[in-house]
Amino acid sequence: MKHEFDITIPAGQQRQRIDVYLAAHVENATRSKVQQAIRSGEVLLNGKRVKVSTLIAPEDVIHVQLSRPAPPEVLPEKIPLDIVYEDDSLLVVNKPAGMVTHPAYKNYSGTLVNALMHHTHSLSEPHPLRPGIVHRLDKDTSGLLVVAKNETVHQKLAKQFALKTTEREYWAIVWGVFKKTNGIIEASLGRSKSDRKKVAVVAEGKHAVTEYEVLQQFEYLALIRLHLRTGRTHQIRVHLAHIHHPVFGDPTYGGRKIVAGGIEGKKKAEVENLLTKISRQALHAKKLGFVHPVKNEMMRFESELPEDMKAVLDFLQGRN
């Protein structure tokens, strides 16, 4: 199986060996794998074959074709699950931060799917690596997910998600002081041209819309509620970073840097202490609602904020 894409070298990029650059900017690529692809002609620089030592420059376009090995077998694992609801058709789980939703490259064990396969033998099979998975959350985003137990239920749930008739509400702790208590972020998203591991706001990307409402404003952070009109990869995290309110603690999209102004001395130490309370983005899928595919009843679920987000809020609320 081939994975094919283009990378445009951004302005300001220092000259660097092409194999070193690709190993750092292509997801799941090792330097040896990149070198092999270059030597076999699967990597072209501005339409031409190159050596592994060729130096790249700003505005260069790299065309990449990488072979993907067949995935290993996914096995059941005895991993604790926080099951909020379960019947013969589906189950709703509260996924902890740090758990990958389904197996993928370098994550073929310890995932939610591995745990589900141990818990039940009844799971839909839309994909060999994703039994039961109708929708997903980022590894370090916690919260509610619905899982299908058969193909009919899966298709009906998937249709609800596609038509945006499900109810999903996220809570996040984010940087900065909001000028308005609510708003809509509309910006197209796609893979970053400079780093394939990231998503970015790009003109040619997919349409994406996020609604937000400020629930509580603190001195330099805020607790907000979010609703998605679209469901793009990393949508909330990238959209909030785009409007200069990155999710607190997010190591990928600027949430571990001090974003708000005027934070110095004791206050800076306070922020650094707060960051020790959470090692990931402070983002939680708090509410989930959908029509049960068999009972034809509206089902609504809500989960408590996880302990790391509570610890940050407890500190902030204690200061107010």
Name the DSSP class of 121: S
Q: Is 13 exposed, middle or buried (0-12, 13-18, 19+ CB in 10 A)?
A: middle
- What's the CA gap between 287 and 222, in Å, rounded? 19
Is 19 known to be catalytic? no
- What's the CA gap between 131 and 154, in Å, rounded? 10
Q: Under a CB-based contact definition with an 8 Å cutoff, are residues 43 and 37 in contact? A: yes
Report which of 20, 26, 29, 30 is spatially closest to residue 7, judged by C-alpha positions: 26
Q: Which amino acid is at 90?
A: L
β-strand pairing of 142-148 with 283-291? parallel
Distances (CA, A) of 308 to 140, 142, 281: 12, 11, 10
- What's the CA gap between 26 and 22, in Å, rounded? 5
Report which of 174, 110, 79, 99 is spatially closest to residue 142, judged by C-alpha positions: 99
- Residue 98 — left, alpha, or beta (φ > 0 → left; ψ -120 to 50 → alpha)? left
Rounded to the nearest 5°, which phi and psi values hold at 307? Answer: -60, -35
- The one catalytic residue among 19, 60, 82, 138: 138
Q: Is 281 exposed, middle or buried (0-12, 13-18, 19+ CB in 10 A)?
A: buried
- The residues that are catalytic are 138
